Every structure is written in structure tokens, then in C-alpha cells.
Structure 1
Amino acid sequence: MYSFDIETPKTVADAVAALGKEEAQPLGGGQTLIPSLKARLAMPSVLVSLAQIDEIKGITEDAGVLTIGGGTTHGEVARGAASYPALAALAGNIGDPAVRNRGTIGGSIANNDPAACYPAAALASRATIVTNTREIAIDDYFQGMFTTALEETEIVTAVKLPIPEKAAYMKFEQPASRFALVGVFVAKYADGVRVAVTGASEEGVFRWADAEAALSGDFSASALDGLSVPADGMITDLHGSGAYRAHLVAVLAKRAVAAAA
């Protein structure tokens, strides 16, 4: 690690002001950022902790849309998102109790870690990302590994997720970190199905269009027979090859559809 200053604002307005300082960076639960600091992959001079901003915490539901404050922890989502069981189950299986009680949905969405679970849920669920300045459609939000549409002084204040008719998430865990070696989230809406994949691609989370088209016509695991994603562009590391990850995408997608159906 190295030396840096830390600020703990109590309001979004104060946090935005603090983020205006040179080389400042927001800190949610720190479950992605702190390891990045240790590895010197990020080197801000000021960390702006969002942990004490109550206005970005909590879960509400209105007209079939679940709104989760950006500062809401994984544990709180697991306990409080009962109207969206697939999302609650996803949150309850992130990391371990220490991670779930510190990490936040806003921090996960903002960092866009390629192996994180929430990006798949957000992309499959047609989410809207709410910041201190605007609302961003999820299809315009993720822009590649660790990259999003957020500007430097933007904070994820909430995530809005339309609740689908059916949904499920399946992931193949890296056993030490419990990050997704591959994770597939399937969500069925009245006008179609969305399938989002995390952990597999060098470009981060992505939608599997062929699977979406097949499932929109027949929402069954058998509809995916013969479909596969190309191994090109899949992550290859000590945990698995690109071809292995491509194979897992197809397997987990079928399991997710079976669980949802």
C-alpha cells in the first residue's frame, strides 16, 4: 500500500465536492478497490468513502421496479430483495459474510469487475443506473473491463431493476475468492428474454444474443441445444482456458433456464 488521504462525507453533495479534488476516487465497500490499491492497479491520492451517506441506502419497490440504493450492501440485498428472488440469491452467494456486510451494489456496478456478479444481473434485468446527475440505460453503461459510462465525479446513487416474470443466476465459482469463473443470469420478460454473462470475456460482462433469440421463442433449456459462444475473446488464465469458459457459458445458461422455469 501507499499513503493517501481519506474523506468521509455524510451527503452526496459533499461527496461530489470531495471527488472534485485531484486524483480523488470514490470508495464503496472496498471489496474491489482495496485489492486494486494493494496491487498498485489504482493509485488515488484521496479516497472518498461513501459508507456514511444514508441517502444512497435502502430498497424500495414500486410498479414492478425494484430500486436499490447504491450504498446498500450485498447482505442487505440478500435479505431485502424478496420480490426478486434471483437477485436476492445472487447477493447471498457473493463472497463470504465479511464481504457481504461490506461490499455494496453501487461499488460493484461502478467498478465493473469482469468477474463480479451484479453486472450480469443488471444487464439481464434491463437496469437503469441512477447517478447524482442522470440516469443511464444499462445497455449504454458497461463499456469494457473495469470501464463504465460514469464520469469522474459521478456516484451510483441507485440501481433500478424491472422485476422479470422468471429469472435465475448460475455461477461456477473460483473456490478461493468465490468470484464467478463464469456466471450466467437469465431473465424472462413479457416481450423477450435477456441473457447476460460475467467472468468469461476479456471485454467484461456481455449479452448472449443467440441464446436470447432462442429462449424468446421457447423458454426451455432444450432451446439452447447446439448453441455456443466462441472461445475467441474469452479469458484464459490459470483457472481455465478460453475454450473451457465458453463451454461453461452454455452449461450454466441451460441450468439457469431450468432453474427459472
Structure 2
Amino acid sequence: MPFRNRAAYAFLAPYLLVFAAFWIWPIINSFLISFQNTRINPWRYSLNANWGRLFSDPAFYNALYNTMIILVIQVPVMIALATVMAVLLNSPLLKARGIFRFAFFAPVVVGEAAYAAVFKLMFNADMGIINKIIGGAGLTPVEWFSDPHAAMALIIIAITWRWAGYNAIIILAGLQSIPDDVYEAATLERVSQRQQFFHITLPLLKPIILFCIILSIIGTMQLFTEPFLITNRGGPGGATETLGIFLYRQGFTALNFGYASSIAYTIAAIAIVLSLFNLWFGREKA
């Protein structure tokens, strides 16, 4: 190995050692733990203790179902909303664009505990502003924290509020990379604004939107904060318990680390499969 390469690896060695110790080894070790029965002492390898239980556990399927419901409903709604927001932010008619961009991006930098507390107050059944507005409109106030469907809707609203602006900024960057010449040529050809959006803007934004979808899928599969803080650890009665909360409950409440490891690898596998499917579905057709 040339001296120059040895010197480069010598400078990289501290980072590589830390990366191996705190990333590579925990990943490998947790995979090995997923095949061990950690409810006995000493731990012993047992395939059925974790993986066999996983695929016959109603609690796992409940958490998987809740996660998929959020994924199927929230991600398309959020990406569509983010696209509309990005188009509006990119409009030359919009004044003070910097202020609006900051306002849309601000929810991401708000502390998770703080924004969860605000949502719990806003959606409080008795004194929350949302129910006061609903009651003022002559409708029946919603029991956001005791009704399973309402609690799920609340989680979807909270996630959308937090991440729609983040995705809008990413899509906005993609919008600004589209050459103006394309739109000028379309305008000369008397192509309407609506046609330009569906036949020029969206096709050229497809890689950016696909990137946002994959990020959102990975984030949803790991969803933990909102159902843990807003609906009190996935309540009511497990109606909003996600795979992330189920993993936490098994690992840090029941201290069943082997089962928690198998759940973690299942989450990762599902996220990878869904991401690859989206990449395949969104590939450029020959």
C-alpha cells in the first residue's frame, strides 16, 4: 500500500474504530441476540423464542396494522400537500418568500415534547381549541384521546403538520432546478398552466418526490414520538401503538431484548422492501 494511502487510513482510523464499536458491532450483536431466548439466564439460542413468537403474536400484528394505516393514509396526503406548498412557495407572485419558507420548515425544529404538549392541549376533549371550534360550528365534539379512530386521525394530523413543510422545502429545491426555458417553450406553444404542472413539473419532480416518499416510509416505520407522547404510549387500548412503541415496550419495559431485536430487524426489512418497491415502481421506463 502506498505511503499516501497508509497516511489517509491512519487519519481515518479513529473514526473507523468508533464507527465499528458503536455502529457495526451493535448491529451484528442485535441480530445474534434476536435468535436467543433472553428470558432465561444464561441466554440460549432458540429460533422459536423470538421469531416463532413474532409471526403468531396478535400484539405484533396490531402494531403492524396501525403502522400500515398511518403509512397508507398519511404519507400520500403529506407528499401531495408538500408538493402544493412547494409550488406556492415557488410562485413569483408570493411576497416575503423567506418568511413563508421558514414558517413551513419551523415545525421540524420545534422540540418533540413541546409540540406534543401543545397538540394534547389543542385537542383536549373539554377545553381544547379544536373541540371549541367544532362545537361552535354546531357539530358534536370529538373524543380525540378515547376514540380509537379519532386518536389515529390525531396522530396523522400531528405527523403531517410536523413533516409536510420539511418535504415541501426538499421539493422546492427540485422545482428551482427545473430550467425556465422549459416553461417558456411550453407557454409559446400555448400550453396551459394546468397542463404544464401535470406534464412538465410533476414528471421532472418525480425523482425528488420519490426521494421524499422513501424518507417518509422509513420515518413512518420507525414512528415513536407522536403516539408515545400524544396518545399516551399508543392508546387508547393499543389503537395507535406502532411498531416503534411495540419495540420499546418489549425491549425497555418487558426487558425481552431478544424479541425486541427480532422486531427491530422486521421493521428494517419491511422498510427496505417498501423502499425498493417504490424505487422499482418509480424507475424510468425504457
The two structures have a TM-score, normalised by structure 1, of: 0.24
Larger radius of gyration: 2
Flag the structure with more relative contact order, 1 or 2, with Cα contacts below 8 A and sequence separation at least 6: 2
Structure with a larger share of its residues in strand: 1
Q: Which has the higher helix share?
A: 2
Structure 2-normalised TM-score?
A: 0.22
